[in-house]
A and B are shown apart, each in its own frame.
Chain A
Amino acid sequence: MHPFKINRTLDHIFNHCIELMYQGQSIEDCVKLYDSKRIQLLPLLKAAQITIATAQSVKPRKDIKKITKLRLLSTIKQIKPVSNIGEQLTESLYLPIKLRAFVKSIFVNKKLDEIVNHCIGLMNQGQSIEDCLKLYESSKADLAPLLEYVAISMNAARSVDPREPAKQASKTRFLAAVNKTGRPSRFSVVFSRNLFRPIALPMTALVFLSVLILGSGSIAAVYSDNAIPGDNNYWIKRARENITLAITHSDTEIAQTHAKLASTRGEEMLKLIKQGRVAAAEGHLDSVFKHLSASAQHSGVSLTFNTVDAPPTKISIQTDEALGLLRVTLQQGSEVLSVDKVPLSIEHTINGSNRVDRIRYEFELAFRILLWSIDNAEQSDPFWINQSSFSR
């Protein structure tokens, strides 16, 4: 079953004997059954017998309770030095149902949990059960069965490996995201150096002034960033987007830009929904689909249900980094209107909550279809056969 071989007989024998003793058998009856273990078994069973007999003789009277407690404590101390079990003892005496478990438990060293923990730590570091048992020879009988099941569980938990291609693809996307967002600011590096501190203030002022002068021409553009359909300056925003698309040449960048614009449309739709303009948001979905279709086209992905005329295509984006960036953009875009991630209060959706939900699901689904198609572009199975993938 597993690579660890241990001796657990004494533990099992002890348990068996306790059971026999409860059924009226004597210690000698049991020892005869396991003669080879007589030396180890006899003292344990005698101690158990004393404890069982004492416990069963006690009646629930306060004076007896105290005397029994003292008697038991002294008995147990003679067998094995165990401290601080007085309360446990007296409580257990009056709970016959727990008696059997209690009798067994008092033979377990109180520090066993510490030992088990130490052994799990060692096993985590690559040591075997035997290595640990050597350290705790005296607790071997109690420890070995526990560690055996630790090993079984640990083996089971560690036997699952991630698929290497998935791991590598995930790493690529992660590193693309790191390069996009985790890059240190050059300004912060420059200003953090003591050498540049004396000139930091004048430089800041200079940069600030430059930004002010250069940026004054595009104040309207910046102002239009938050515009939504119906605003006076919304056309400025769309015009800027068109200019950006016009001056972008590589397919990779165009695909990325369209993906971002689809996400921007989603942000606008969210604002429209919050204003109660559900129909306007609904109409905006078409723009989202157009942007995502364009993104798919420039990525080289063919979105179609016609498997004969348009078999699955290979993605045309060449570098992993670019593909990772596109994927991250689409992933983030899919969450802009996500029902689960963007809560809307009742007043925002009271006018047609079903319609709002449908808009949000369609929006998210469009992103997820493209994401899924990109991830599976090179697979032989067309995406519509694996419908279950959408429900992940």
Chain B
Amino acid sequence: MYREQKLTKDQIDRYVVLAQKGESSAFEALYDHFYDQIFRYIVFKTSDSSTAEDLTEDVFLRMLESIKKFKPQGHPFSSWLFRIAHNRVIDHYRKQGRDRNVPLDTILSTVGDSQTTLDNYVETKLAMREVNQAMAQLTELQREVLNLRFAGGLSIKETAETVKRNENSVKALQHSAVKKLRVLLQPNQLFSEKLA
């Protein structure tokens, strides 16, 4: 239902080895597998789809430049790639030198083809707005963990590697974040906020 079932971990590892040898088909396979995940991760961070497209492309160009430096040795490739994406977003904000709170209109206009019916479309837009507002009230690390897990679709191990924390700590962060989201997203909470 959620995660695109495309490449297994072993397949990814094999493609990474081939990519390190310069095999272009391996790059293509990795690109196809990770593009959407990286895009969603970035769009959730930047709230701007065209910026996310540019940054996602840049992430893959950086991957191309430095894939030979990647040493598997127990570290998932996805964590390494998402780390590049994370750093690229930080660079972007540093370059922009502005507040991160971007209007949501741009992100809301990018609700994808998967939302086919009008009802679904409107509901998803509302949900996205609410989730974004709620996410903004989480801590930086909680937000990062949820983003990697939900938008990026990473496992706990991959998330832990990306945020440089141990797995138990990530589980705890995730749990506390979900609990906080639950409070923030409760209907009466939203209603009272709207009234205010």
A, B from the same assembly: yes
A-contact 0/1 string along B32-66, CB 8 Å cutoff: 10011001100110000111111011001100110
CB of A152 within 8 A of CB of B185, answer: yes
Interface 1/0s, chain A 365-392, versus B by CB < 8 A? 0000000000000000000000000001
A24 at the interface (CB under 8 A from B): no
Q: Known A152-B127, A392-B54; judge A162-B36 contact (CB<8 A).
A: yes
Instruction: Answer whether A160 and B107 are a contact pair too, CB < 8 Å, given A1-B127, A170-B57.
Output: yes
- By beta carbon, the residue of chain A nearest B135 is A153
Classify chain B: how many residues form its interface, as a range: 35 or more
Interface members, chain B 111-143 (any A CB < 8 Å): 111-115, 123-124, 126-128, 130-132, 134-135
Determine the distance from Cα of A392 to Cα of B65 in the docked complex, in whole angstroms. Answer: 23
* Residues of the B chain whose Cβ atoms lie less than 8 Å from the Cβ of A160: 39-40, 43-44, 49, 107, 110-112, 128, 151
B27 / chain A contacts, CB cutoff of 8 Å: 174-175, 178, 182
- B175 with A127: CB separation less than 8 A: no
B182 interface residue per 8 A CB criterion: yes
Task: Name which of B15-23, B71-79, B81-89 contacts chain A.
Answer: B15-23
Cα of A51 to Cα of B57 in the assembled complex, Å: 57
Instruction: Give the secondary structure class of A's interface.
Output: helix
Q: From A170, which residue of chain B is reached at the shortest CB distance?
A: B57
Contacts of B131 in A (CB 8 A): 152-153, 156-157
Task: Specify which chain A residues have a CB less than 8 angstroms from the CB of B70 in the assembled complex.
Answer: none
Asked if B195 is an interface residue, CB under 8 A from chain A, the answer is no
B110 lies within 8 A of A163 (CB): yes
Contact B1 A126 (CB under 8 A): yes
- The residue of chain B having its C-beta at the shortest distance from the C-beta of A158 within the complex is B2
- Which residues of chain A are near B49, meaning CB under 8 Å? 160, 162-163
Interface status of A123 (Cβ within 8 A of chain B)? yes
- Kindly name the residue among A124, A148, A160, A179 whose own CB sees the greatest number of chain B CB atoms within 10 A: A160
For window 72-127 of chain A, which residues contact chain B by CB distance below 8 Å? 112-114, 116-117, 120-121, 123-127
Which residues of the other chain, A, contact B192 by a CB distance below 8 angstroms?
none
Q: Report the bound CA distance from A114 to B58 in whole Å.
A: 36
Q: How far is the CA of A127 from the CA of B1 in the complex (A)?
A: 7
| Contact call B127/A128, Cβ cutoff below 8 A | no
Q: Across the interface, do A154 and B156 meet the contact criterion of CB distance under 8 Å? A: no
Asked whether, in the complex, the Cβ of B124 is within 8 Å of the Cβ of A117, the reply is: no
Closest residue on chain A to residue B61 by CB atoms:
A177
Indicate if the CB atoms of A159 and B182 lie closer than 8 Å.
no
* Residue from the list A2, A171, A340 in contact with B127, Cβ < 8 A: A2
Whole-angstrom distance between the alpha carbons of A173 and B2 in the complex?
A: 28
Q: In whole Å, how far is A298's beta carbon from the nearest beta carbon of chain B?
A: 24
Number of interface residues of A (CB under 8 A): 51
Query: Chain A 217-252 against B: per-residue CB contact (8 Å), 1 yes, 0 no?
Result: 000000000000000000000000000000000000
A50 CB within 8 Å of chain B: no
B69 CB to nearest chain A CB (Å): 14
- Pairwise interchain contact B155-A121, C-beta atoms closer than 8 A: yes
A209 CB–B CB distance under 8 Å:
no
Residues of A134-173 contacting chain B, CB below 8 A: 145-146, 148-150, 152-164, 166-167, 170-171, 173
| Contact for A156 among B60, B124, B156, CB less than 8 A | B124
> In the complex, what residues of B have CB within 8 A of residue A161's CB?
36, 110-114
Q: Which residues of A contact B181 (CB under 8 A)?
A: 149, 153
Interchain nearest-CB distance for A127 vs B (Å): 7
Q: What is the bound-complex CA distance between A166 and B1, given in angstroms?
A: 24
Cβ distance A22 to chain B, nearest Cβ, rounded Å: 18
Question: How near does chain B come to A381, taking the closest CB pair, in angstroms?
Answer: 15
Q: Please determine whether A121 and B56 come into contact, CB atoms closer than 8 angstroms.
A: no
Report yes or no: B1 in contact with A116, Cβ–Cβ below 8 A: no
A174 in contact with B57 (CB, 8 Å): yes
Asked if B112 and A114 make an inter-chain contact with CB atoms under 8 angstroms apart, the answer reads no
Of listed B19, B107, B155, residue having the most chain A CB within 10 A: B155
Contact of A123 with B2 in the complex, beta carbons under 8 Å? yes
- A161-B113, A170-B57, A174-B61 known; 5 new pairs, CB 8 Å cut-off, are A126-B5, A145-B182, A156-B124, A340-B91, A340-B95
Which 10 interchain pairs have the tightest Cβ spacing? Answer: A161-B112, A113-B175, A184-B22, A157-B151, A156-B131, A126-B1, A157-B150, A170-B57, A156-B128, A149-B182
Would you list 6 pairs from A and B whose C-beta atoms are within 8 A, ordered by A residue? A159-B112, A161-B114, A162-B39, A175-B24, A182-B23, A184-B22
